[in-house]
Amino acid sequence: MDDLDRRLINRLQLGLPLVRHPWRVLAAELESSSNELLERLHALLADGVLTRFGPMFDIERLGGAFTLAALAVPEERFEEVAEQLQGLPEVAHNYRREHAWNMWFVLGCASEQGIAETLQRIETLTGLPLLNLPKEETYHVGLYFPA
Amino acid sequence: MSVCISRPEDTLIQRLIVLTQAGLPLLEDPWAWLAEQLGLNIDATLDLLKRLQAEGAIRRIAAVPNHYRLGYRHNGMTVWDVRDTDMPRLGALIGAQPFVSHCYRRPRRTDWRYNLFAMVHGRSGDEINNYREHLRYLLGDACGADEMLVSSRILKKTGLRLPPASR
């Protein structure tokens, strides 16, 4: 990664301008060319420094239901339970966190009923009590990681 | 929270999501490609995108970094037990801190006393500890207790997708 890569990563996190020729605008801004920027972007995606480039939908506004939930998994069962959640398409992310509640995951379903059923299924599957913490208010969402 | 898809424009949004879920093609003229796929002209496509972005249905058309690859290997989910009456003011204040990426109010439970969640990211353990200290200072005596749950492993990361029933 060189300086132009870093500037491109930072700039593209803020969003492509919605103008007729966005790459020309960015090329002027970053003192480069459209081709150069597109080649760099391709390389950064291929290399995995960037995971995605495209519209970021607020998927929650487009229907569906979501929640954050946690399990307190006994250490000796941790891998087994992680596997069980891995297999459920409703589980969007799952993180290990250092706490008595050591497994934290986000569920996305078509409906609130789907959420309730999936939570029930996870409780049955794992035999573990579950902490269900749906969001009640959003104060901020916005990732920005300066390269 | 759940909103049924009903406006005629929502069909277009659905198609847009399916077309770009994996990403926008890396083309000199991405709108021309999108216009052709959607069966619209380029101006109408650009207008649609602008409208969706203004409404918040599209946050932006942007790159998502693998933050681990950029050195952000430390993240902490800070959780706070905040006095309910102070929550609207303090939730907004905490959410406005530049190092907080997500900030939500969530319910308390019998065995869970924390109602404010703020995610922080940093390049070292010290960095996120400092962020936590700063949040603690901002919350002052409106906060009874807090913890920081540090993530030590990603077990699954597919991201939120359109629910299967509405795809």
Tell me the pTM. 0.81
Nearest chain A residue to B76 by CA distance is A97
* Spacing of C-alpha B162 from chain mean position: 15
Residue B120 lies inside a defined structural domain of this protein:
yes
Does the residue B3 lie in any domain? no
Which residues on chain B are in Cβ contact (under 8 Å) with A114?
163, 165
Cross-chain Cβ contact B49/A55 below 8 Å: yes
A20 closest CA partner among B22, B94, B34? B34
φ and ψ of B20, to 5 deg: -115, 10
| Residues B81 and B135 placed together within one structural domain of the fold | yes
Percentage of chain B beyond pLDDT 90 is 69
Looking at the fold, whether B123 and B92 belong to one and the same domain comes out as: yes
Mean pLDDT (chain A) is 94
- φ/ψ region of A125 (left if φ > 0, alpha if ψ in -120 to 50, else beta) reads alpha
Q: Contact at 8 Å (CB) between A109 and A118?
A: yes
The reply to whether residue A143 touches residue B3, judged by beta carbons under 8 angstroms, is no
- Cβ <8 Å between A53 and B26: yes
B120 shares a domain with B90: yes
Q: Answer yes or no: do B146 and B93 share one domain.
A: yes
Q: Which structural domain range is residue B46 located in?
A: 9-55
Question: Residue B130's domain is classified under what CATH number?
Answer: 3.30.70.920
The answer to whether residue B166 sits within a structural domain is: no
Name chain B contacts of A143, Cβ cutoff 8 Å: 64, 67, 101-102
- For B33-47, the pLDDT digits (tens) are 999 999 999 999 999
Cβ separation B151–A92 shorter than 8 A: no
Which of the two residues, A69 and A1, has the higher pLDDT score? A69
Judged by CB atoms closer than 8 Å, whether chains meet at B166 and A14 is answered as: no
Establish if B19 belongs to a structural domain: yes
Domain assignment present for B161: no
In a domain, B163, yes or no: no
B32 and B81 belong to one structural domain:
no
Give the C-alpha distances (Å, rounded to integers) separating B30 from A36, B49, B54, B111: 16, 12, 20, 50
Considering the domain architecture, whether residues B83 and B134 belong to the same structural domain is answered as yes
Same domain, B90 and B128: yes
> Tokens in use for B75?
């993240």
One domain, residues B82 and B43 = no
For chain B, the average pLDDT equals: 89
* pLDDT per residue as tens digits for the range A48-106: 999 999 999 887 777 778 999 999 999 999 999 999 999 999 998 899 999 999 999 99
| Lowest mean per-residue pLDDT among A130-144, B57-71, B80-94, B147-161 | B147-161
Q: Is there a single domain that holds both residue B128 and residue B81?
A: yes
Q: What is the mean pLDDT of residues B104-118?
A: 97
Window from A19-28, A107-116, A138-147 with minimum mean pLDDT: A138-147
Q: Å from B126 to nearest chain A CA?
A: 16
- Taking CB atoms and an 8 Å limit, are B61 and A16 in contact across chains? yes
Contacts of B131 in chain A (CB under 8 A): none
Instruction: Characterize A2-19 residue by residue with b for buried, 16 or more Cβ atoms within 10 angstroms of its Cβ, and e for exposed.
Output: eeebebbbbbbbebbbbe
**Per-residue pLDDT band at B9 (split at 50, 70, 90):** confident
Same domain for B35 and B84, yes or no, is no
Task: In whole angstroms, give the CA distance from residue B22 to residue B5.
Answer: 22
Tell me whether residue B65 is in a domain.
no
Q: Which residues of A touch B70 (CB under 8 A)?
A: 9, 49, 145, 147
- The pLDDT of residue B3 is above 90: no
Least confident piece of the model among A18-22, B14-18, B82-86:
B14-18
Domain count, chain B: 2
> By CA distance, what is B71's nearest residue in A?
A147
**Do B101 and B39 sit in the same domain of this protein?**
no
Predicted pLDDT of residue B89:
97
Contacts A–B by Cβ distance under 8 A: 252
Say yes or no for a CB contact (<8 Å) between A133 and B105. no
Q: Which amino acid is at B91?
A: G
Co-location of B78 and B144 in the same domain: yes
Q: Angle at Cα A60 formed by Cα B19 and Cα A108, nearest 5°?
A: 90
The answer to the question of residue B85 being in a domain is: yes
Q: Does B2 score more than 60 pLDDT? A: no
